[in-house]
Structure 1
Amino acid sequence: MSVLSPLARVWARLGFVRWLLLIALAAGAYWLFGRDKVDPASQVVSSVVKRGDVEVSVLATGKVEAAKTVDVGAQASGQIQRLLVKLGDRVKKGDLLAEIDPSVSQNDFDEAQMSIEGLQAQQTIKQLALQEAHLELARQKTMIEGDATPRRELEAAQINVKMRQAEIVQLGTQLRQAEIKRDKAKTNLGFTRIVAPMDGVVASIAVKEGQTVNAIQSAPTILTLADMDMMKIQAQVAEADVVRIKTGTPLYFSVLGDPDTKIRAQVLGLEPSPQTINNAIFYNALSLVPNRQGVLHQQMTAQVTFILAQANNVLTVPVGALGKKTGAGEQYTVKVLDAEGKISERQLQIGLRSNIVAEVKSGLKEGEKVVMGAPESSPQPQPERRGR
């Protein structure tokens, strides 16, 4: 194997550098002289005038809630013996949801019932005593007519009748009080059976079987029922946009899980008190939608679009094609690209305008092309020739 001398190695490196220089020169020559020339007009970005819908709208983010929710509380104290529902269960009004240990309430009811029975027995005794007093009074009257008894005996018999009558009245009052106490105990006993106050879905459960609840100071929440057949959309509208929205304004919204499906509704009202979020003021716009298919759920995020104005199946042009505003009204200059690639200026009258497209009132025909943008080397627009 031969070994190159230092001088040979230097010449070899110079040869490699020469090759790199030749390649760079060839690439530069191709870039300057060998490329095909491109027609500047072909670089013009254009859009076809076509029919479509124009929508002036306000966007907002909303939240899906049940139209009606009820916190079902316990009015009786004690241990939860049975919990008959679970999350997501659909219940009807009157269905049994849970049971609290009824022993204390049952004892109160039994005690009240026995008190009533005791008073009723006393009432019977007093009525018999009253009958006896009436008999004694009649006997004394007969005897006084024959001057066979002193008058004080007659008077004592009369007083005895009145006393017995008063005792019966007093017992009647006590009996009514005892009946009220019994009815209250019966009601409290009924409170140990917690039933659904409305049709709905079990949205949350706050207790477990075996847990003790205390209803003396406040009614503890057992569970929450939600009416999921009708849902409420609560949209947060920015302060700058809320002045354009009113009751009856149409809207549609979609949820994150199904962004392509538009659910339509209308504004039922605006909450008067605003919310401050990150130093920005928002007002809640409320609407209701049926949820018969059960697609909507609590706390879903809704992308809401309020429709302020709308034009359907009209000629449209991209907003990006509009040039300077000229004259009175909504008149603009647009650049039109003809079939030969020439650009001319034309006056355009527009109607509704969204952030994307504008309605063409006059100045363009369906199928014509408007220029969205052109490079600096493109031909300058030529004044459009009108037929004589």
Structure 2
Amino acid sequence: MLSAIYRLWSRLGLWRWILLIALAAAAYSGLGRKKVDPSSQVISSVVKRADVEVSVLATGKVEAAKTVDVGAQASGQIKRLAVQLGDRVKKGDLLAEIDPSVSQNDFDEAQMSIEGLQAQKTIKQLALDDAEQELARQKTMMAGDATPRKELESAANAVKMRQAEIRQLAAQLRQAEIKLATAKTNLGFTRIVAPIDGIVASIAVKEGQTVNAIQSAPTILTLADMDTMKVQAQVAEADVVRLKAGTPLYFSVLGAPETKIKGQVAGVEPTPQTINNAIFYNAHFFVPNPQGLLRLQMTAQVTFILAAARNVLTIPVGAIGKKGAASDQYTVKVLDAQGQIQDRTVTIGLRGNIVAEVKSGLKDGDKVVIGNGSADDGMPAKSGKVSERA
């Protein structure tokens, strides 16, 4: 029996090796094939409650709500700077002093001019008193026909002359008083004080530097009121039409990305800016800054909220399939408890960039398919995690 099998095997020649390879391949295929679990071939996400937002994103700069360039109204050398960068000052605090020598001399001269005029006025008043007495005497004598009329008329003219001189001195005194007030004001200008409460944002001069305020007031320093900050956000022309005064928003700065600061649009500037051939409009808003977190020229990542649904059932936008019979109905693929994939019709509400609101057709905890996790797309089978904000 064995010899007969051996002779048959020898006669097969090359075909015996082909037969062995075919038998081995069939055995390997039968042993290696396993039942495929559909849930292991897709990426799924759990239906859960979250916020859905339709928003416009923009980048902006943080500025002080109010800044004042404090200038010098007096010319001269900067004698002293009383503040440093970053100092917080109150309205009326001394910021800097200009050498008051020239202004002080002008003030003293104006004051002495007034004193001289007042002395002249006293002299003129005494002369008027004498003239009035002489006029009275001449009138008495004229009544007794004891003096010529010419003397009476001369006495009357003398009184009028003294009165005119006193009026002239009074006018000169008023002019001198105006000059004194001006000199006093100019002397006060040598002491530069804070016009508002704020922080010293910049200093443009140094001690010992000479400033000239004859033609224009040179800037000494800049004060910024940083208790309230202004944010200017650059919004693309395609999005700006959807913004209006009162549109809610929130933003964060690069130094504190986890802190969301809320606000609302105060207005949109009518004149655009062109940046790299693209048109942008500045939307601005104001926010309080009690903790001093916000600083000048910080970069703000701004999110303008056009519509929002809070604490609603959500699914990833990628899970939404074909449109249904109604305008808000769509088909989604759902993994059931046995791991099988089923089609289900759902009603979609607000649709954001990442997640969409589910009004009906799903419940909290359901799993929806958002992608193929087979080797064809190079992704492992898993349950996906989705951001809760659109």
Instruction: Determine which of 236, 239, 251 is the counterpart of 1:238.
Output: 236
Matches of residues 277-356 of structure 1 in structure 2 within 5 Å? 277-356=275-354
| Residue number in structure 1 paired with 2:36 | 39
Between stretches 354-363 and 143-152, larger displacement belongs to: 143-152
| Residue type of the alignment partner of 1:319 | V
SS of residue paired to 1:240: helix
Distance 1:372 1:37 in 2: 25
- Deviation at residue 193 of structure 1 after TM alignment: 0.4
Corresponding residue for 2:101? 103
Structure 1, unaligned runs of 5 or more: 1-24, 379-388
User: Is the aligned partner of 1:221 residue 2:206?
Assistant: no
Provide the secondary structure at the position in 1 that maps to 2:220: strand
1:366 is displaced (CA, Å) by 1.8
Instruction: Tell me the CA shift for residue 283 of structure 1.
Output: 1.8
Higher mean C-alpha displacement, 322-331 vs 229-238: 322-331
| d(CA) in 2 for partners of 1:36, 1:235 | 60
Q: Which residue of 2 aligns with 1:381?
A: none
Q: What letter matches 2:234 in structure 1?
A: Q
Give the CA deviation at 1:376: 9.9
Aligned residue for 1:93?
A: 91
Task: Number of aligned residue pairs: give it.
Answer: 349
CA distance in 1, matches of 2:89, 2:376: 73
Report the counterpart of residue 68 of structure 1 in structure 2: 66
Selected match of 1:207 from 201, 205, 229 = 205
Given that 1:270 and 1:284 are in contact with CA atoms closer than 8 Å, whether structure 2 keeps it comes out as: yes
**Is the Cα–Cα contact under 8 Å of residues 40 and 377 in structure 1 kept in the other structure?**
no
The CA distance in 1 between the partners of 2:59 and 2:364, in whole Å, is 36
Deviation at 1:54, TM superposition (A): 0.9
Output the CA distance in 1 between the equivalents of 2:279 and 2:83: 41
User: Structure 1 residues 38 and 67 mapped into 2: Cα distance closer, same or farther (>3 Å)?
Assistant: farther
What residue in structure 2 maps to residue 148 of structure 1? 146
Distance 2:47 2:67 in 1: 51
The C-alpha deviation readout for 1:54-95, integer Å capped at 9, x for no partner, is 111111111111111111110000000000100000011111
Pairwise CA distance, 1:276? 1.9
How many Å apart are 1:338 and its aligned residue? 1.9
| Residue identity matched to 2:151 | E
Aligned to 1:269: 267
Indicate if the aligned counterparts of 2:263 and 2:287 stay in contact, CA closer than 8 A: yes
| Aligned-partner Cα distance in 2 for 1:324–1:200 | 59
Query: Deviation at 1:377?
Result: 8.6
Separation in 2, partners of 1:144, 1:36: 153
Which structure 2 residue ranges, 5 or more long, are not aligned?
Answer: 1-20, 378-390
Which residue of the other structure, out of 154, 157, 160, is the alignment partner of 2:155? 157
**Aligned letter for 2:50?**
G
Query: Matched residue of 2:238: which SS?
Result: coil
2:264 partner amino acid: Q
- Is the CA contact 2:37–2:339 (under 8 Å) kept in the aligned structure 1? no
- C-alpha offsets along residues 271-325 of structure 1, whole Å, 9 cap, x if unaligned? 2222222222222222211111111100000000111111122111100011122
> 1:38–1:176: structure 2 CA closer, same or farther, 3 Å change rule?
farther
What is the identity percentage for the equivalent residue pairs of Structure 1 and Structure 2? 78
Letter in 2 for 1:340: Q
Distance 2:327 2:281 in 1: 33
Q: Which amino acid aligns with 1:119?
A: L
The answer for the alignment partner of 2:133 in structure 1 is 135
2: CA distance between counterparts of 1:168 and 1:377?
112
Per the normalisation by structure 1, the TM-score is 0.86
**1:87, 1:204 within 8 Å by CA — same for their partners in 2?**
yes
The Cα of 1:345 is off from its aligned counterpart by 1.5
Residue 35 of structure 1: CA displacement? 6.1
SS of match in other structure, 2:113:
helix
| Deviating more after overlay: 215-224 vs 332-341 | 332-341
CA separation of 1:124/1:38 partners in 2, compared to 1, >3 Å: closer, same or farther?
A: farther
1:236 CA drift (Å): 1.4
User: Runs of 4 or more off by more than 3 Å in structure 1?
Assistant: 32-38, 375-378
The answer for the alignment partner of 1:258 in structure 2 is 256
Distance 1:203 1:376, change over 3 A: closer
Q: Which amino acid aligns with 2:73?
A: Q
